[in-house]
Amino acid sequence: MRHIIGIDVGGTKIEGVIIDENGKILNKIRIPTEAQEGKEVVIKNILKVARQLWSEPVCGVGVGVPGPVRENGFVPYLANVKDFKNTNLTSILLKELKTDVKVENDANLFALAEHTFGIGKKYPNMAGVIVGTGIGSGLILNNMLYSGRHGGAGEIGHNIIDSKKMRDLEYFCAGPGIIRLYIEAGGKASIKETKDIFSLKNDAIAKAVIDKVHELLAEAFAQAVNTLNVELIVVGGGVSNSLDFKKLNMIAKKFVFPPLQDTFKIERYHLGDSAGSLGAAALFFR
């Protein structure tokens, strides 16, 4: 039985899995990314993970990265990785590993993982949205991952919300943005974690900020439904653990074109922390 390796490159860690053709995880490892050491060290660590997991026969290695990926595997930049610019990561890894290599954006792979192995199996059209320190998203259309020619399709986190100051959804609704909103509104300056704001049950400022975050996210999700007729939006990332999904669905429905109001749902992710590496492996299930 053939094996597939999936690698998720994060800002602090690189996780790799090796799975069989049925999607069963055979082994999993994590090592530090060492992003501050620059491109060469990060590439060395990607190769290290692949080689430690290697168990013949390997038919491919998928890699997810925190940045846009062009059609030919060209990576213009990687967030938080020093000097990682204008690099054809696919060709570098292919030369070293001598097997088929595919590289994709990590948010796209979150969507692909949930579609292949998780809650999205039954939905040919869906979006996956990661709401954490930033907001990244990916699209599955007609059962295929759609990333666009330049790798930026579906990035609703960068849609402008405040046109006067050119501030996007990520500015308001990613983790740092939620904390900023709370403190700027007069909240406790000691708050350092987004989850702490959501736990303040009797704090009027926290309630107002939480309501605003749900409203803005729901509006963005509704636009995805109106534009692409997606049937499912799966939400992951650290902030997702604090969100009220009943409220998100209720608000989003108000902004959706009436004929589509009963055709979609918004759900919390099902696969957990290994969604990125599983999604990278799932590139070879297409």
Q: What is the pLDDT of residues 6-25, one digit of tens each?
A: 999 988 899 999 999 888 99
Q: How confident is the model at residue 57 (pLDDT cuts 50, 70, 90)?
A: very high
Is 0.85 topped by the overall pTM? yes
Q: How confident is the model at residue 73 (pLDDT cuts 50, 70, 90)?
A: confident
**What domains can you pick out in the chain, each with its CATH number?**
3-111+274-285 (3.30.420.40), 122-270 (3.30.420.40)
Q: How confident is the model at residue 45 (pLDDT cuts 50, 70, 90)?
A: very high
Q: Does the pLDDT at position 1 exceed 80?
A: no
- Whole-number Å distance between alpha carbons of 76 and 69: 7
Q: How confident is the model at residue 32 (pLDDT cuts 50, 70, 90)?
A: very high
| Strand runs labelled E in 175-274 | 232-236, 265-268
Q: How confident is the model at residue 155 (pLDDT cuts 50, 70, 90)?
A: very high
> Angle between the 275-282 and 106-116 helix axes, to the nearest 10 degrees?
80
What does the longest C-alpha to C-alpha distance in the chain come to? 59
Compare 67 and 63 and report the one with higher pLDDT. 63
Q: How confident is the model at residue 221 (pLDDT cuts 50, 70, 90)?
A: very high
Q: Does the pLDDT at position 194 exceed 80?
A: yes
- Whole-number Å distance between alpha carbons of 42 and 259: 48
